[in-house]
Amino acid sequence: ETSLEAGIRVQIHSQDEPPYIHELGFGVSPGFQTFVSCQEQRLTYLPQPWGNCRSTADKMIPGYDNYSISACRLHCETREVVRECQCRMIHMPGTAVVCPPNKIKCVDRALAEFQKSSADTCECEIPCKLTRYGKELSMVKIPSKGSARYLSRKYSKTEEYIRDNFLVLDVFFEALNYETIEQKRAYDVAGLLGDIGGQMGLFIGASILTILEILDFVYEVIKCRLQRLLRPEKEEKKKQTGIVATVDLDDLKAKESGDTARSQLEGAYPKTLLPNHHHNAQHGVFEDFAC
């Protein structure tokens, strides 16, 4: 297969996964100096039942120490090429013989058929832990006139050849840190129970307080009504008790006044002035004195 591209393809990947350049690589053109600024990103996904990632504890792919999507895709491609052509490409894992040049067309045909049916025949799950690198590319044109003359003399090539075949690639980290992207469960057991308990405590507590306040209001209303109904009877009893007490007190005062006057009259005349035969008489004082 003839490529229409002029340049190279580059992939920046973790050491735990194989390169998958024809799908994940980016191109670098000759005649330019390309600057690639990288930022490491560590992604964490959730396994079943919260997600659909594949844990590293699951069965590994033959030929690889760690599971990755690239390893899974290469394993499927290798299996298809070996089945169709009885050989493998040099970048493919396995123990089959490397395909000779006369088998290139067979390999291309097998890979084309695999691309059409890969969704059904090769299911590659996302790993639960994944490292990838975000990239920002910038380019400047090279070489300058002075450097083109220098390079042409050094390599005995023309300046046009230097411009069409030379490139410079600078790969560097934007910062010496990494970004973490972690998938979280929307609700775990503790959070679910806490939310349920909090909501129940809030709304049921408010309802109980409202009911208690209503009952207290009804109690106060009934108490006030009963006090109003019983107050006239109590006042009438108090008036009757006051009248009886006043009458008894007047009678007592009148009786005490009569007894006092009588005792004063008896004490006004000595008993020796009266005859002795009248001392024991049952008549009053004035009757004895008249006799």
What pLDDT shows up at residue 240?
62
What pLDDT shows up at residue 265?
43
Taking 70 as the pLDDT cut, the residues of the chain under it are 1-3, 56-58, 205-207, 232-291
DSSP characters over 30-75: TTEEEEEEEEEEEEE---TTT---B-TTSPPPTT-SS--HHHHHHH
Cα separation, 72 vs 259, in Å, equals 133
Bridging pattern class, strands 26-28 and 32-44: unpaired
What pLDDT shows up at residue 243?
54
At the top level of CATH, the class of 8-182 is mainly alpha
Q: Which residues pair with 98 in a beta bridge?
A: 88
What pLDDT shows up at residue 289?
40
Q: Which residues pair with 129 in a beta bridge?
A: 44
What pLDDT shows up at residue 285?
43
What pLDDT shows up at residue 50?
83
What are the sequence ranges of the domains in the chain?
8-182, 189-278
Whole-prediction pTM: 0.59
What pLDDT shows up at residue 35?
96
